[in-house]
Amino acid sequence: MPKVQFITVTRAESGQKLLRFLERRLLGDVPRSAVQRWIRKGQVRVDKGRKKPFDRIEAGQVVRIPPYTPGEEKPAQSGGGLTLVHQDADILAIAKPAGLAVHGGDGIDDSVAGRLAALYPDADFRPTLAHRLDRHTSGLLLAAANYESLRHLNHAFASGGVDKLYLAWVRGQWTGPDRTLLTDRLEKRGEPGSQTVRTGSGKTGLAEVTALVADREYSLVAVRLITGRTHQIRVQLASRGHPVVGDRKYGEGRERGPMRLHCHALRVDGTLLTLAPPWEGRWAVEPETLGRAMELLDGRDTLRGTPKPGM
């Protein structure tokens, strides 16, 4: 028979809202409505006292969970591992490959989030992604190793406190100034799952672009992303006649092969992480070219990412 559980809040979980803590800790699929009912009726206690669903809990507090029968637990994804570029007590930096979705959903059985959960099945606080990349974009993706770090990263991304540098191969010869500021109004259109973004109205998107290699057929550009709108880089470049190579959504149907858009560098709280793109052949980027791309970020830090294979 199910029994009452008493769980001590760990340091990694500290600061969460009670409802979210319970959802992370409960085994199997337990409906949120059931958890809210437990809290409302006083079946959930924190240090023997009643709490509301959105009250925050702290390390060392003891949470009483009433007896319950776990629902069916979703099996851990086994689509593959992940390569870590950097890991410390607060942050994991993941080398996301092109083609792998960040989160699961309808028709998506393999994702970065699912692989993370499979890698850390017994963690008090499973590493949680702090931002997104488009499915066909490769590069750096940050996850928080504890709840305090997750709150900090979420705020940093939302407030523009993260420096973001991307590399992209685009069609045509980029002839703009050495540093071109792209300013557009961007708006989502269409039904969920098939949405596109168009310029002309909506929220402002800002990005700074410089050409690293400018040929007649293709150009390699570095993009410092100032805002973080959906599909922003892809839309802003395509609207100027330079769609990202391999972008089938905004490339007017001419594109084939993988998309050549890569998150190369992220800087958070003075920590700089970099990841060279995995491109080969005609799309390979020389080290000195990567150095020129970094000039778009003001100043330089010494910490660089070194991939750890086999995760």
Contacts of 72 (CB under 8 A, 6+ apart): 28, 29
Strands 196-199 and 261-268: unpaired
One of 106, 109, 124, 134 is an active-site residue; which one? 134
Q: Which residues contact 263 (CB under 8 A, 6 or more apart)?
A: 96, 133, 137, 138, 139, 140, 141, 164, 165, 166, 275
Rounded (10°) CA dihedral 163, 304, 153, 261: 60
Instruction: Give every CB contact of residue 111 below 8 A, 6+ residues apart in sequence.
Output: 77, 79, 100, 101, 102, 103, 104
- Annotated active-site residue 134? The verdict is yes
The residue type at 235: V
Strand, helix or coil at 33? helix
Question: What 8-state DSSP symbol labels residue 105?
Answer: B
What residues are annotated to the active site? 134
